[in-house]
Amino acid sequence: MRNLQPSSLPAFQSTNLPRPLKGVVLAFASAACISVTFIASKQAMADLSPLAFTPIWFAVASAWGIGLYLWRNGLALPNGLGESIRPILLLGLLNGLANFLFFTSIDLGDPALVAFFSRSETVYTVLLGAWLLGERMRRSQWLGVALAIAGTGAMTFRAGSVVWMVLLLALASNFFLALSNLVAKKSILAVPPLVLSTARTLVMTLMLGLFGWAAGQLAWPGWTAWLWIIGGAFFGPFLSYVLFYRSLLYLDLSKGAVIRATQPLFVAVYGLALFGTLITLQQLAGGLVLTAGVAFMLWDRK
């Protein structure tokens, strides 16, 4: 069987970029794709509960992954899949729990507020990378992490009463998501990114589907919701994670997490393109701080 290179997304296969720069490009591309989730999921859940939405969302993402794998490899099973079952199951379970909490928080609250609280994932991931993987960054790079988180908060925060349930759900969701990123970083050399990403969404489909069935909340989406799900699931849970797992071959986990904190920049662009929502001065200022933070974090002085 051919060695699977999911970023065969031809643009990355033929490039001669240095390894660190290739990782940066892949991580930014992942951030651009995952940002679609905030818009598509909110639109799709207009008529669906989180437990009705999430199994279908991840089933469609799994179909995209399986389709690409079969197109490239036929019916041959991936090499080393049997030895990787445990980390794949753990990855899927952690992601399933994280995403159920995440989409519940989006359903209950303002997506901008959820996006603000979601920056806790970056904090968790940077700390886990330093503690468990021995990743080390200079003071200027830690300053970059702080600036990136502050800039993201400035972009997405809205004044008003804090919905404590949304806060707790988002914090818990991002802790489990950070743990799943740690598992992915440890597994990425043994499992190709496309296989890892697709196995992740398959486990989540089964897990959340069982939860939805037990709660009696499974439902069939309408046509509008289907369009949002099919398009959003391609960019969000499928392509974004293939690109992110691929970037972990070239980047430290902490650096990849900080780059993915640029999601609100892309959400602002998509809001303008799809709904004509203009960026505010607050969002512009936050975006500039966020960009400066990522630049500091990536500045690897010798």
pLDDT tens-digit readout, 27-75: 999 989 988 887 888 888 888 888 899 999 999 999 999 999 999 888 8
Report DSSP letters for 112-140, one per residue: HHHHHHTTHHHHHHHHHHHHHS-----HH
pLDDT over 90 at 109, yes or no: no
Give every CB contact of residue 43 below 8 A, 6+ residues apart in sequence.
224, 225, 228
DSSP letter (8 states) at residue 15? -
Taking the whole predicted model, whether its pTM rises above 0.75 is answered as no
SS3 string, 157-182, reads: CCCCCCCHHHHHHHHHHHHHHHHHHH
Q: Which long-range contacts (CB under 8 A, 24 or more apart) does 74-79 make?
A: 76/1, 77/1, 78/1, 78/4, 78/191, 78/192, 78/195, 79/1
Tokens 């379970």 — which residue?
93
Q: In this predicted model, what pLDDT tens digit does every residue of 167-208 receive, in sequence order?
A: 678 778 888 988 888 888 888 777 888 888 898 899 999 999
Q: Given a cut of 60, is residue 106 above it in pLDDT? A: yes
Q: Quick one: which of 50, 160, 155 has its CA closest to 104? A: 50
Q: What is the pLDDT of residues 213-232, one digit of tens each?
A: 998 999 999 999 999 999 99
- Tell me how far apart the alpha carbons of residues 228 and 8 are, in angstroms, rounded to a whole number: 25
Q: DSSP H helical segments within 216-276, as ranges?
A: 223-233, 241-247, 253-260, 263-275
d(CA 155, CA 287) in angstroms, rounded, equals 6
145 to 123, 271, 276, 286, 299: CA distances (angstroms)? 8, 26, 31, 14, 12
Q: Are 277 and 271 in contact (CB under 8 A)?
A: yes
Residue 6 confidence class, pLDDT cut points 50, 70, 90: very low
Q: For residue 196, what is the DSSP state?
A: H
**Helix, strand, or coil (residue 192):** coil
Give, as one character, the DSSP assignment of residue 234.
I
Write out the two tokens for 49: 């509960």
SS3 80: coil
**Is 254 or 6 the better-scoring residue by pLDDT?**
254
* Residue recorded with tokens 């679609």: 36
Domain range annotation of the chain: 18-298
Q: What is the pLDDT of residue 12?
A: 46
